[in-house]
Amino acid sequence: MDIQITRPQEIEARSMAIIQEELERMGPLPPADRLPVVKRVIHTTADFDYRDSLWFSPGAAEAGIRALQAGAWVVTDTNMARAGVNKAALERLGGRALCFMAEEEIARAAKERGETRAALSMEAAAALDTGGAPLVLAIGNAPTALIRAVQLMGEGRLSPALLVAAPVGFVNVVESKALAEAAPCPRIVARGRKGGSTVAAAILNALLYQAAGR
């Protein structure tokens, strides 16, 4: 066994080249504005199903890049997703990454109301004063967060520059993503049961790297 590629940048570059080659063998490539996101998610998951299951509203990738270049505040539904976002790149653009899941007030209100902390986290996102910075939502775990976010948009209380909808699982997952597809904002949706915090973070990072000129 001859292992020659060991440097992180070389490993990533070779991985992306392999992904590109395999995508080309599968047929027509995704549109150019979506390809970096698709490749980044496949790089993170080694799952080529995302070639077809990632759905983009028209102009969603460009809207996300513009928002990040304008110093967007990114709110995630899990601390794992927040940890996965490249915060160095985000901060270079003047942005912030936030997650409200572990806050005592959120936990207390969720218990009193019999709702999930993830759902109430979206209410906290709606109440944020970003000082004019765009808001980006990256939901990679909880369908309840996605459902509440769409409800808040319908009520006019939340208007994200981009919604990343990638919850994972079996209960209300597909249904919540169907709601997200009809949401009144730019959106990227991982259709079906698959997704997760790592997928949400990968989508954000793909856009971040383009926004930051990596």
Q: What is the per-residue pLDDT for 213? A: 83
Asked if residue 77 is part of any domain, the answer here is: yes
Model pLDDT for residues 68-101, shown as the tens digit of each residue: 999 999 999 999 999 999 999 999 999 999 999 9
Asked if residue 145 is part of any domain, the answer here is: yes
State the amino acid at position 79 in one-letter form: N
Q: List residues bridging with 54 in a β-sheet.
A: 190
Distance between terminal CA atoms of the chain?
33
Q: Percent of the chain at pLDDT above 90? A: 93
pLDDT greater than 60 at residue 1: no
The residue segments making up the domain with residue 198 are 53-211
Domain count, the chain: 1
Asked if residue 2 is part of any domain, the answer here is: no
Q: What is the per-residue pLDDT for 4? A: 63
Asked if residue 125 is part of any domain, the answer here is: yes
Asked if residue 28 is part of any domain, the answer here is: no
Asked if residue 10 is part of any domain, the answer here is: no
Q: What is the per-residue pLDDT for 63? A: 98
> Would you name the residues annotated as active-site residues?
43
pTM of the model: 0.94
Asked if residue 100 is part of any domain, the answer here is: yes
Q: Looking at residue 90, which CATH number applies to its domain?
A: 3.40.50.10230
pLDDT greater than 70 at residue 168: yes
Q: Label residues 91-107 b or e (16+ Cβ within 10 Å = b).
A: eebebebebbbeeeebe
Q: What is the per-residue pLDDT for 159? A: 97
Please provide the DSSP assignment of 138-149 as one string.
EE-S-HHHHHHH
At residue 10 the predicted structure's pLDDT band, cuts being 50, 70 and 90, is: confident
Asked if residue 167 is part of any domain, the answer here is: yes
